[in-house]
Amino acid sequence: MPDIKIAARDGGSFTGYLAKPSSGRGPGVLVIQEIFGVNAVMREITDGMAKQGYVALCPDLFWRQEPGIQITDKTEAEWQLAFKLFNGFDVDKGIDDLKATLDHLRKTDGCTGKAGTMGYCLGGKLAYIMATRSSADCNVSYYGVGIEGLLGESAKIGKPLLMHIAAQDKFVPPEAQKKIKDGLAGNDHVSMHVYPGVDHAFARVGGEHWNAPAAILANQRTAEFFRKNLA
């Protein structure tokens, strides 16, 4: 599948990996990257969503720092680069880029116009923010990092949000998880699932903390969620 160009709202452009279903038509899913760029893992996830019948698009959110980053979680040097890019990432500009991508996706040939988001790690945090700041029809957050500091925006969640939380997440400790659970309790738009005994990135195929049973269950819940909210 091709990389395409997306116009940024403040000028310039960035790339995104586009995958379409065999039928050529379906709702949209905006796939939001981890801290390793639009790498093989994210492309496989995007392809997987296309196989489920969605027009899927994964944008390069690190383009303002270093366009085209595609690294893995296998070496210390790659981790250091990933954290450097993460620490240099401007969240507000990233959300602007995701909104531009959402607009582009909805206008993409074959997209029905309905579109949701799905993000992992950094992308899980951004999916939460898209639930509070964008017009996405629904949003899915996998082990988002830093959401406990964004709960003041939760009243703005007006569309369905599905959250997958790793109980043993080394980047989201128990006190942060409690804040998230307490802060979102009673919000009818939010569904939350906690996966016991698993660490951050339990759904990253081939990753150190990959956990097949938890990943399969989370992905099944995501598939059902999208079928319900993007039909």
As annotated, the active-site residues are 169, 200
| C-alpha–C-alpha distance, residues 218 and 195, integer Å | 9
- Chain-centre distance for alpha carbon 13: 20
Residue 37 is given by DSSP the state B
Q: Are 195 and 214 in contact (CB under 8 A)?
A: yes
User: In terms of residues, how long is the chain?
Assistant: 231
73: tokens are 């979680």
Q: Are 37 and 70 in contact (CB under 8 A)?
A: yes
CB atoms within 10 A of CB 48: 17
